[in-house]
Amino acid sequence: MRIGVNARLLNKPFTGIGRYTKALFSDLAQEHPNDTFVLVAHEDVAGDFPKNVEVVILPERFPGTAGMKKTFWEQVQLPAFFKKMGVDIIHYPYPSNPWRNFKIPTVVTVHDTIPWVLPEYREQLSTRLYQDRCRNALKYASLISAVSHATKNDLVSLFPPLDNKIFVAENGISSEYKSSVENAEKVLKKYNIDPARPYFLYLGGYDARKNVSLLVDVFRESVASDFDVDLVLAGGKILQGKLYESYDYAVEASKKMPESRGKLVFPGFIDEADLPVLYAHSLTFVNLSKAEGFNLPVIEALCSGTPVIASDIEIHHEVLGDYGHFVGVDDKVKLTEILRKFAGDVEFASSERAKTEAYVCPFTWQKTAQKVYQAYEKVMQFATIKRDI
Q: Which helix (H) or strand (E) holds 195?
A: none
| CA proximity to 231, closest of 240, 243, 242, 222 | 222
Do 265 and 199 form a contact (C-beta atoms < 8 A)? yes
Q: Does residue 87 sit in helix, strand or coil?
A: coil
Q: Does residue 107 sit in helix, strand or coil?
A: strand
Domain 2-172+364-388 is found in CATH 3.40.50.2000 = yes
* pLDDT for residue 120: 85
Each residue of 26-61: pLDDT tens digit?
A: 999 999 999 999 999 999 887 789 999 999 999 999
| Fold assignment, 175-356 | Rossmann fold (3.40.50)
Domain segments of the chain as ranges: 2-172+364-388, 175-356
Neighbours of 182 (CB within 10 A): 9
* pLDDT for residue 178: 62
Each residue of 238-268: pLDDT tens digit?
A: 766 667 788 888 888 888 887 788 899 999 9
Amino acid symbol at 286: V
Neighbours of 213 (CB within 10 A): 17
Each residue of 4-29: pLDDT tens digit?
A: 999 999 988 778 898 899 999 999 99
- Same fold? 2-172+364-388, 175-356: yes
Neighbours of 170 (CB within 10 A): 20
Q: How many residues in the chain? A: 389
* pLDDT for residue 383: 62
Do 203 and 234 form a contact (C-beta atoms < 8 A)? yes
Lowest mean pLDDT among 241-255, 300-314, 358-372: 241-255
Quickly state the pLDDT bin for 157 (edges 50, 70, 90): very high
Q: Which residues pair with 3 in a beta bridge?
A: 37, 89
CB proximity list for 381: less than 8 A, separation 6 or greater: none
Tell me: pLDDT of 273 over 90: no
CB proximity list for 348: less than 8 A, separation 6 or greater: 341, 342
Each residue of 53-103: pLDDT tens digit?
A: 999 999 999 988 888 999 999 999 999 999 999 999 999 999 999 999 888
Rounded CA-CA distance 154/124 in Å is 23
Which strand ranges, in their side-by-side order, compose the sheet holding 106-110? 53-57, 36-41, 2-6, 89-92, 106-110, 143-146, 166-168
* Helical H segments across 14-168, by residue range: 16-31, 66-72, 78-85, 114-117, 125-137, 149-158
Quickly state the pLDDT bin for 181 (edges 50, 70, 90): low
pTM (predicted TM-score): 0.89
Q: Does residue 46 sit in helix, strand or coil?
A: coil
**Apex CA 272: angle with CA 267 and CA 274, to 5°?**
60
DSSP 173: B
Neighbours of 34 (CB within 10 A): 6
